[in-house]
Chains A and B, each alone.
Chain A
């Protein structure tokens, strides 16, 4: 069964950092690009960041550029999101998402995890 399991969310103060992880199973992880997509409570989807199969192409939303860093470890079948200088507007459910292509072009976000909640508040 294809599965993505996120972890690392929680309550954090503004200005602090958090690292999200996503463990993949049931497919050949290093054949596909991966992404992080978030959804603030009661709001729509926002693409956050994407990474190609070999980490050669990375992309970030303007809202997180310079603060967030995406990475992957193909040997561990894992995706990561290092989030620094967190703000209240970063509060959201963060989904780990599998693309159906090796490029970080968001061809199709075909598999979604259940998400991990990040709350930024003092």
Chain B
């Protein structure tokens, strides 16, 4: 169970789009379509933004979208807004009832 790899930080200006990558292995992201993304604001519990690679829970803005290619998953946020500034975590099922998170990416809205 090795942690998924995410960039430590990304940034963008309001209205722009940003993409956060999440690189795993053939034993997790590469095999399973159970990739999810979480947004965490300081002092708050995480919130699921994307699950099963591309699905959005009810109430999550359609500015958030997910994709996957090979062992890498991506989260794209379009039309950046100030409230999007947070830490984002990816997560993947890794088989045998186990899951693994990425290290987290801090998004700064300039």
Q: Is A109 in contact with chain B by the CB < 8 A criterion? A: yes
Main secondary structure of the interface of B (DSSP, over half): strand
Residue from B32, B91, B100 in contact with A109 in the complex, judged by beta carbons closer than 8 Å: B91
What total of A-B pairs shows CB separation below 8 Å? 76
Minimum distance in angstroms from B88 CB to a CB of chain A: 11
Residues of chain A within 8 A of B32, CB atoms compared = 105
Q: Does A60 contact B (CB under 8 A)?
A: yes
State whether the Cβ of A41 lies closer than 8 Å to any Cβ in chain B: no
Given A47-B98, A50-B98, residue A110 in contact with residue B93 (CB < 8 A): no
A105–B32 alpha-carbon span in the complex (Å): 10
Interface 1/0 per residue, A88-111 and B, CB below 8 Å? 000000010000100111111110
Interface size class of A (residues with CB under 8 A): 20 to 34
Residues of B within 8 A of A (CB): 1, 32, 34, 36, 38, 40, 45-48, 51-52, 55, 57, 87, 89, 91-93, 96-104
Q: Is the beta-carbon distance between A50 and B97 smaller than 8 angstroms?
A: yes
Can you list 21 pairs linking A and B with CB atoms under 8 Å apart? Answer: A37-B101, A44-B89, A45-B40, A45-B46, A45-B91, A47-B98, A47-B101, A59-B96, A59-B98, A103-B97, A104-B97, A105-B32, A105-B93, A105-B99, A106-B36, A106-B93, A107-B36, A109-B36, A109-B48, A110-B57, A112-B46
